[in-house]
Amino acid sequence: MMLIEEQVAAARQQLTGESLRAVRLRVKEMRSWRSLIPSGTDTQLLLESVLLQHIGNPQRSSRFPLGIAEVVPTSSRLDIRFEHSDLVRPALEMLPYRERGQRTIHGTPGLWARTVGRSIEIAFARHPAAGVIALTTLDRADHIEGLLSTYEASLSAQRRVPLWTAAPGALPPEKLRTGGRRRKPQPRTIIDDHRPAVALPSAVLRRIRLWDRLSGHAGLKVSATSADHGLDWHIVREVHQGVSLHDDRLAAILSDPVAGPGLVTDGEGHHCDGDRCVMEFTAPADRTSGWRGLLRVETVTASTPVPPVPQRPRHFTALDETAFPSHGGLPHTSPAERHCPQRTRSDDNKPTEGRSTQLLAPRLSRSQWELTGMAMKIGAAWALDGCAVLVVTHSFDADREVRRLYEHDVFGWSIPDRPTFVPSLPWRRGRLVPGGGALFTHTVCGSRADVGALLQQARAHFDWTIFVDCNDNLGMGPYIERSVDSHFIVVDSSGYPESFVTAQARNGVAEHHEVAVTPAASAMAWRQQHLTGIPLDRVPMSGLVLRQSSPSAGSTPSPNFTAQVDAELARFGIPVLTRLPEAPHVALGDPSPTVLDAVDDASRAAYVKACTPIHLALRAVEPCLIPSADPWS
């Protein structure tokens, strides 16, 4: 089985063209491996969107897509390595200039370009640190540093004035916009055209090497057209003679949210015949800003001679392919097909349905606000143990109509909604998992009936479904029990108290006295203190998962006393299933890493070992009918 670090590095390297050694170092610096290729800032996305439109129709043939051999993406920078210097020239046409004696600006207003070493860096002059595109070539003999000056001289010979030479420090202060004064309307620029849909072309450019891993790659052309909802992108993919135009792997990699851009394909818009194969993609409904556009991929047979390239496809590690697809390494589209060995089989040799459980936390506790993260950590450990796991959360904000109200601008013109496609399966992959496991996530909105229908649907595809919802009056709370088989609670606890400190007045002075307690009294006190809001009187709980934290000095309970309190809690109907290792400290707002992220091997092994008793105990639980406490049901 491939190590998770090797799997993550290979999946990213295959889409960007970076060296594998460099990728291994870069992925270790990432806190989360939920998305292997980082997204850019708003300024960076805008730069990449404009660039892709200018380089989308290369005039020189290349064995790489658009002539790009490598991209190195970060949040505020994209390094692009072209095969030849001739392929860099179209990128320079995005720089601004004007005709001598005229004020109309051609190109992209506000850009600044300079040569740094053997690369050309392009940024917005007012905000040079917010986003940078660095252009270079594979051949060190190419004089890339002289390409910019040559282009500037060619414009001057045509009586055109370059506008990208002014350094940011030499620019006059930006004028403040004050209200009350009527401003002259500004002409529409290329920036206005691209801004609604900058994320879509950026996602394609940052994964540019996926195209030549498909079968029979011969060429690629990219263009953009304006639409009422934003900007649509059209990709013409040329393949060699005799190669099938339809390729399921194209839709699979573009739909993958971990390594790919996570787009949704339109099944009705898919059209294939003898001349072409057309697929349409768009972003999921929960992505709005920067995603107002459609991606239309048209696969055709190359009509002109192309340089010889391998016609046999190369494998995608992100699609769980371990060899060339022609050698039997095809991806499995359904998790159920990959994880049938994890389940017992019935008499007709069909796998039994998966199990569903609900994760709860005490009300107003730290665990309540981190409940989704805890479900992901436990689910990741189960996935690494070989299970197919789905983590389901509930949110009314996930409803499309609710999001439209949040994003509506009452002071501006309403923008028509972009077309939305409904995926065949609602859930999306949460992490890459080596071996036979899988980890998916989904946020559901609607009533309890909608949640119950989704949980029932998931049983046919997953070994385990973990339903997560805050235990309050706004969500499902504990009232989803008719759709799950078991319930368990996650609680932060530094240990059980062996004594209590009381204060007594003696001789006019308050003195502190330590009073020892029995294990039974300690268990009762702990239950009343830590399990607030849990319906223990109505819903049978399968057990407790304790998140260990560092105890205060001198308060470490003895192992014998802890075992006795555990026995008392089991007598109360809430046995302790496991104690999770203490989580590392993370910055405020950062997600706590799972075992499928960049953690050391010892911590990963310890966490998986600690989580194994949870699903073993839940598997032994017999589902039971619980009377509803909802007076309206």
Judging by DSSP bridges, how do beta strands 276-282 and 295-301 pair with one another?
antiparallel
Q: Judge contact between 15 and 210, C-beta under 8 A.
A: yes
pLDDT surpassing 70 at residue 470? no
Q: Is 30 left (phi over 0), alpha (psi -120 to 50) or beta?
A: beta
* Residue 234, beta-bridge partner list: 223, 296
- Helix runs in 206-340, H state only: 248-255, 335-338
Superfamily of domain 352-404+424-619: P-loop containing nucleotide triphosphate hydrolases (3.40.50.300)
What average pLDDT does the segment 359-375 reach? 81
pLDDT confidence band for 396 (50 / 70 / 90)? low
Mean pLDDT of 422-446: 90
Per-residue pLDDT, 552? 57
- Model confidence pLDDT, tens digit, residues 493-505: 888 888 888 888 8
Contact 89, 147 (CB under 8 A): yes
pLDDT at 474 over 50: no
Question: Which has the higher per-residue pLDDT, 1 or 38?
Answer: 38
The structure's pTM equals: 0.88
Q: Which of 314, 321, 255 is nearest to 283 (CA)?
A: 255
DSSP notation for 251-262: HHHHH-SSSS--
Mean predicted confidence (pLDDT) in 87-98:
93
In the predicted model, what is the mean pLDDT of the chain? 84
DSSP 449-472: HHHHHHHHHHTTT-SEEEEE--SS
| The predicted structure's pLDDT at residue 459 | 93
CA pair distance 390, 388, nearest whole angstrom: 7
Q: Supply the pLDDT for residue 329.
A: 47
pLDDT at residue 126 in the model: 86
Burial class of residue 290 in the structure, from the number of CB atoms within 10 Å of its CB (0-12 exposed, 13-18 middle, 19+ buried): buried
Confidence of residue 39 (pLDDT cuts 50, 70, 90): very high
In single-letter form, the type of residue at position 157 comes to A
252 pLDDT above the threshold of 80: yes
CB atoms within 10 A of CB 503: 9
- Dist. CA 52–CA 94, nearest whole Å: 10
Q: Rounded to whole angstroms, how far apart are CA atoms 535 and 627?
A: 12
pLDDT at 182: 67
Report the C-alpha gap between 58 and 81 in whole angstroms: 15
Residue 222: predicted pLDDT = 96
DSSP state of 30: -
pLDDT at 113: 93
**Residues in CB range of 629: below 8 A, 6 or more apart:** 479, 535, 538
The token pair that represents 502 in the structure block:
């009381």
Domain with CATH 3.40.50.300 in the chain: 352-404+424-619
The residues, any chain, with a CB within 8 Å of residue 434's CB and separated by 6 or more, are: 1, 2, 3, 4, 7, 384
Q: Which two tokens stand for residue 171?
A: 């620019």
Q: What is the mean pLDDT of residues 127-153?
A: 89
Question: How far apart, in whole angstroms, are the C-alpha atoms of residue 531 and residue 509?
Answer: 36
pLDDT of residue 228: 85
pLDDT confidence of residue 229 = 84
Above 50 in pLDDT, residue 412?
A: no
pLDDT grade, residue 91 (50/70/90)?
very high
